[in-house]
Amino acid sequence: MNVLRRRAAFTLIELLVVASILAALFGLVITGTRRGDGSVRGAAQQFAALLRTAQSRALGNEVGAALILEADGDLNVVVSDSHVQPFIEGTVTDMPPPATEPSNLSTAEITVAPANAANEDMTAGYKIRFFHRPPGGTGRGQPVSEWFGFQSPAPPDAIASFQAVNGQTSRNTSWPSAPQDGTMTCCIARYPTKAGVAMTFPKVATVDLRYSGTGDAPGTTWGSLDGNGAIAVSFDMLGGIDALMQQVPLSAAASSSVTPIDPFEPVYFLIVDRAERLSVDRQLASEKAFWVAVHPQTGQVTVASNVPQAGTDSAALIAARANARKAITIGK
């Protein structure tokens, strides 16, 4: 009986061996989760998981959250986590439009006195919203505008502008009136900055930025992500896409040509076989490619197989995304 009882127990060595095996298996699971399964499908699923994680981090967070994609050579794209700075709060001492100028101007010069940041921090701003704080009030006050475009190459002077890429025109958008009493305040959103690599695509896969973007015409603004440098995909506090933008403003002139956009159509990423990517115009014909699509309002992320096409024009692009379009509408 004593022998049987001794055999029923585990020795310290046996426990250590079992613990080591479990630790090794756990490590394999974690590694597989982070690096994917080495296939194009695995890379697409891993990238989709990172987008979902960023969207989850954004929920309830006023400044949202973002991922940054950056081309590393011709065939590789590195995905980084990001740090999103709090809104710059401030008062506006020159309010658009000046009384002597017509009210249909799409841009206006303003002066901002930041309360929670230095003047030079405004150079990283990309959009602005105006508020009216009554006499004796605290905080921002009540909003009196939607978000406008923003640039401040020489703070505290800045330029607020209608966001034409988001549909703002003088026919449907107007500047808020300067208050008769109280104070005009504002908050300014800033470009995110990189906070560490989140994913390096496996050797077999990469993102084809030429056919990735929003809308169906690659030749339009943000219709293709190719050539735009480091690109941030930003989610807002409700979980939808806040903006597609460059990571940092290059200059006043350069930034105006790639203005951040709040997309009203899904954003698509084409994940392709790296070897096939060497064939410049054959990606839409690939049977190995996958689309990762993000719904602009809900932030829903889906993965769908490519529908191979013979051409490379807008019609072929629309047809290639057929499966992704069907998947992204589920739960809309």
pLDDT digits (tens, 9 = 90+) for 115-126: 999 999 999 999
What are the structure tokens assigned to 53, written together?
Answer: 């994680």
In degrees and rounded to multiples of 5, residue 89 shows phi and psi of -95, 140
State the Cα–Cα distance between residues 319 and 220, nearest whole angstrom: 18
Q: Is the pLDDT of residue 310 over 60?
A: yes
- The CB-based long-range contact list for 49-54 (8 Å cut-off, 24+ gap) reads 50/79, 50/198, 50/199, 51/233, 51/292, 51/294, 51/301, 52/301, 54/81, 54/233, 54/235
State the Cα–Cα distance between residues 118 and 129, nearest whole angstrom: 18
Percent of the chain residues past pLDDT 90, beyond the cut: 57
Query: Which contiguous run of DSSP H or E holds residue 128?
Result: strand 125-133
pLDDT digits (tens, 9 = 90+) for 8-40: 555 644 544 444 445 444 433 433 434 444 699
Tell me what pLDDT residue 14 has: 52
pLDDT digits (tens, 9 = 90+) for 194-237: 999 999 888 889 999 989 999 888 888 799 998 888 999 999 99
More confident residue, 101 or 294: 294
Among the listed residues 68, 61, 192, 187, the one whose alpha carbon sits nearest the alpha carbon of residue 124? 192
State the Cα–Cα distance between residues 186 and 6, nearest whole angstrom: 75
Q: Is the pLDDT of residue 302 over 90?
A: yes
pLDDT digits (tens, 9 = 90+) for 118-160: 999 999 999 999 999 999 888 899 999 999 999 998 999 999 9
pLDDT band at 312 (very low <50, low <70, confident <90, very high): confident
What are the structure tokens assigned to 70, written together?
Answer: 């950056």
Q: pTM of the full predicted structure?
A: 0.82
Tell me what pLDDT residue 253 has: 41
Domains of the chain with bracketed CATH? 39-84+194-328 (no CATH), 88-190 (2.40.30)
Contact of 165 with 259, CB cutoff 8 Å: yes
Tell me what pLDDT residue 180 has: 81
Q: Is the pLDDT of residue 324 over 60?
A: yes
State the Cα–Cα distance between residues 35 and 33, nearest whole angstrom: 6
Percent of the chain residues past pLDDT 70, beyond the cut: 80
Average pLDDT of the chain is: 83
